[in-house]
A and B are shown apart, each in its own frame.
Chain A
Amino acid sequence: MALFLRRTTNIIKHFLVTKSSLATNQTSLTPSFFSVSHNVCSKSYGLAPIPAVFRRMESTKAAELKLDPQFYSSEEEEDDREYPSSEPEGMDFPGGKVMFTSQMSFIAEPGKTRVPCYRVLQDTGVPTSGEIHKLVSEDLATRMYNSMVTLQVMDTFLYEAQRQGRISFYMTSHGEEAVNIASAAALSSEDIILAQYREPGVLLWRGYTLQEFTNQCFGNKADRGKGRQMPSHYGSIKHNYFTISSPIATQLPQAAGAAYSLKMDNKDACVVAYMGDGCTSEGDFHAGMNFAAVMEVPIVFICRNNGYAISTPITDQFRSDGVVVKGQAYGIRSIRVDGNDALAVYNVVQTARQMAISEQRPILVEALTYRVGHHSTSDDSTKYRPASEIEHWKIAKSPITKFRTWIERNGWWNEEDELEIRKRIKKEMLQAIQVAERLEKPAVAELFTDVYDQPTKDLVEQEMLLRESIIKHPKDYPTDYAV
Chain B
Amino acid sequence: MMNVLRDIGRGRGIGIGRNGREIGRGIARGIASCSSSSSSPSLLSSLSPSPPGPPPPINENENENQGGDVKSMNLFSAINQALHIALDSDPRAYVFGEDVSFGGVFRCTIGLTQRFGRNRVFNTPLCEQGIVGFGIGLAAMGNRAIAEIQFADYIYPAFDQIVNEAAKFRYRSGNQFNCGGLTIRAPYGAVGHGGHYHSQSPEAFFCHVPGIKVVVPRSPQQAKGLLLSSVRDPNPVVFFEPKSLYRVAVEKVPASDYMLPLSRAEVMREGSDITLVGWGAQLSVMEEACIEAEKDGISCELIDLRTLIPWDKDTVEASVRKTGRLLISHEAPVTGGFGAEIAASVVERCFLRLEAPIARICGFDTPFPLVFEPFYLPTKNKILDAIKSTVNY
Contacts and interface: CB of A to CB of B under 8 A. Distances in A.
A383 B374 CA distance: 33
A437 interface: no
A283 interface: yes
B95 to A, nearest CB: 15
Interface stretch (A21-29, A62-70, A297-305, A471-479): A471-479
Contacts of A322: none
Given A228-B372, A230-B193, A247 B381 contact: no
B364 A447 contact: yes
B130 interface: yes
B98 A246 contact: no
B248 to A, nearest CB: 16
Nearest to B158: A283
A228 B125 contact: no
Nearest to A230: B195
Contact of B366 (A233, A281, A459, A470): A459
Nearest to B192: A168
Residue from B102, B126, B364, B381 with most neighbouring chain A CB atoms (10 Å)? B126
Interface residues of A, number: 49
Residue from B103, B372, B379, B382 with most neighbouring chain A CB atoms (10 Å)? B372
Contacts of B197: 230, 245-247
A184 to B, nearest CB: 25
A339 interface: no
Contacts of B99: 309-312
B123 A316 contact: yes
B14 interface: no
Contact of B126 (A246, A312, A446): A312
Contact of A247 (B154, B365, B380, B385): B154
Contact of A282 (B126, B364, B374): B126
Contact of B157 (A283, A316, A466, A472): A283
A476 to B, nearest CB: 5
Contact of A447 (B194, B335, B375, B382): B375
A469 interface: yes
A309 B98 contact: yes
B366 A447 contact: yes
A296 to B, nearest CB: 26
Nearest to B366: A451
B163 to A, nearest CB: 15
A278 interface: yes
Given A383-B102, A472-B381, A317 B154 contact: no
A317 B379 contact: no
Contact of B382 (A248, A279, A469): A469
B371 A219 contact: yes
A481 B102 CA distance: 40
Contacts of B366: 447-448, 451, 459
B100 to A, nearest CB: 9
Given A312-B123, A476-B381, A247 B374 contact: no
Interface in A442-462: 442, 444, 446-448, 451, 456, 458-459, 462
A216 to B, nearest CB: 11
B126 A317 contact: yes
B198 interface: yes
Contacts of A317: 125-126
B153 A228 contact: no
A282 B127 contact: yes
A167 B385 CA distance: 32
B367 interface: yes
B321 to A, nearest CB: 29
A458 B365 contact: yes
A227 B374 CA distance: 13
B105 A281 contact: no
Nearest to B372: A447
Residue from A230, A309, A459 with most neighbouring chain B CB atoms (10 Å)? A230
A169 B192 CA distance: 11
Nearest to B369: A228
A106 interface: no
Nearest to B196: A229
A283 B103 contact: no
B335 A458 contact: yes
A254 to B, nearest CB: 14
B312 to A, nearest CB: 30
A476 B379 contact: yes
Contacts of A462: 334, 364-365
A318 interface: yes
A442 B375 CA distance: 12
A284 interface: yes
Nearest to B362: A462
Given A246-B198, A284-B157, A311-B101, A229 B129 contact: no
A439 B110 CA distance: 41
B156 interface: yes
Contacts of B372: 227-228, 442, 444, 446-447
Contacts of B246: none
Given A283-B129, A283-B157, A316-B123, A229 B370 contact: yes
A248 B126 contact: yes
B240 interface: no
A456 B372 CA distance: 19
Nearest to B123: A316
A378 interface: yes
A469 B372 CA distance: 14
A284 B154 CA distance: 13
Contact of A477 (B192, B196, B375): B375
A283 B380 CA distance: 41
Contacts of B196: 228-230, 246
A477 B365 contact: no
Interface in B147-184: 153-154, 156-157
A384 interface: yes
Contacts of A310: 98-99, 105
A441 interface: yes
Interface string A154-191: 00000000000000110000000000000000000000
A317 B382 CA distance: 46
Contacts of A229: 195-196, 370
Contacts of A466: 364, 375
A213 B198 CA distance: 21
Interface string B194-209: 1111100000000000
B94 interface: no
Contact of B130 (A281, A312, A473): A281
Residue from B102, B193, B367, B370 with most neighbouring chain A CB atoms (10 Å)? B370
Contacts of B156: 247
B376 interface: yes
A246 B198 CA distance: 9
Contact of A228 (B128, B371, B374, B382): B371
30 contacts: A219-B370, A228-B367, A228-B370, A228-B371, A228-B372, A246-B196, A247-B197, A248-B126, A248-B154, A281-B126, A282-B126, A282-B128, A283-B129, A310-B98, A310-B99, A312-B98, A312-B101, A316-B124, A447-B369, A447-B372, A448-B366, A462-B334, A462-B364, A469-B381, A469-B385, A472-B385, A476-B380, A477-B375, A478-B374, A481-B371
Interface of A: 168-169, 219, 227-230, 233, 245-248, 278-279, 281-284, 309-312, 316-318, 378-379, 383-384, 441-442, 444, 446-448, 451, 456, 458-459, 462, 466, 469-470, 472-473, 476-478, 481
Given A442-B371, A447-B376, 16 more contacts: A228-B372, A230-B197, A246-B198, A311-B123, A312-B101, A312-B123, A316-B101, A316-B124, A379-B105, A383-B102, A444-B375, A447-B369, A447-B375, A451-B365, A458-B335, A459-B366
